[in-house]
Amino acid sequence: MASLAKTSEYEAIVHWDPQSCGDAVLDRCLSIWKKHAKPNRLPKRSDFDIRTVAPFAGDLAIVSVGKQSKFRFELVGSHLDEYAFVPQTGKELAEVYRDDRADFGESLAILFGQVVQRRCPVLVLIPSITWVQGLQMRFLALHLPLSLGGTSVERILSVLRQEPITPVAHEVF
């Protein structure tokens, strides 16, 4: 089921428990998650073999779920750090997304909280957002709940595909 989340900065299309993502990398991650998901058992971080995710490791983040919905970036790929303009590994969500990006961070915290509660994947499309330094971006993200023991969500594996939106030059005839 898709829903629309909207802030003053951007609109996001949210698909809970998607069947496909429309992106080869995200579809691969989703298929691994579904292969290891069983009734009453969530996949583990170790279900994602490093050889399988290595080609797109720069687009991955592993987020730990703490008490009172505190989220901390355990590991963040190099591509994600480039787009955030700040190293994120080891930092809490609120440390990375603050000041002019606090609204985005709050929205992400709410989304992560829902992933923990619902215990299912979520696909998020943000068709256009003004990012740091005025850069227009398109984001497609898959957030997958992971468990250490199989029942509660202790980690979220996030895979983000982003691209700058470049204005199309129009020819004058």
Average pLDDT of the chain, as a whole number: 82
Mean pLDDT computed over 3-29:
79
> Tens of pLDDT along 60-96?
989 999 887 789 988 888 777 666 667 678 888 888 7
In contact, 143 and 118? CB cutoff 8 Å: no
Q: Report pTM.
A: 0.83
Predicted confidence (pLDDT) at residue 172 exceeds the cutoff of 90:
no
Mean pLDDT on 12-28: 92
| Residue 85 near residue 132, CB atoms below 8 Å | yes
28: tokens are 């691969």
- pLDDT by residue (tens digit) across 103-148? 878 888 999 999 999 999 999 998 887 766 677 878 899 999 999 9
Say yes or no to pLDDT of 168 above 60. Answer: no
Question: Going from the N-terminus, what domains does the chain have, and what CATH number goes with each?
Answer: 2-164 (3.30.450.20)
Q: 64: which 2 tokens?
A: 């730990």
Residue-level pLDDT at 124: 93
40 Cβ contact partners less than 8 Å away, ≥ 6 residues apart: 150, 151
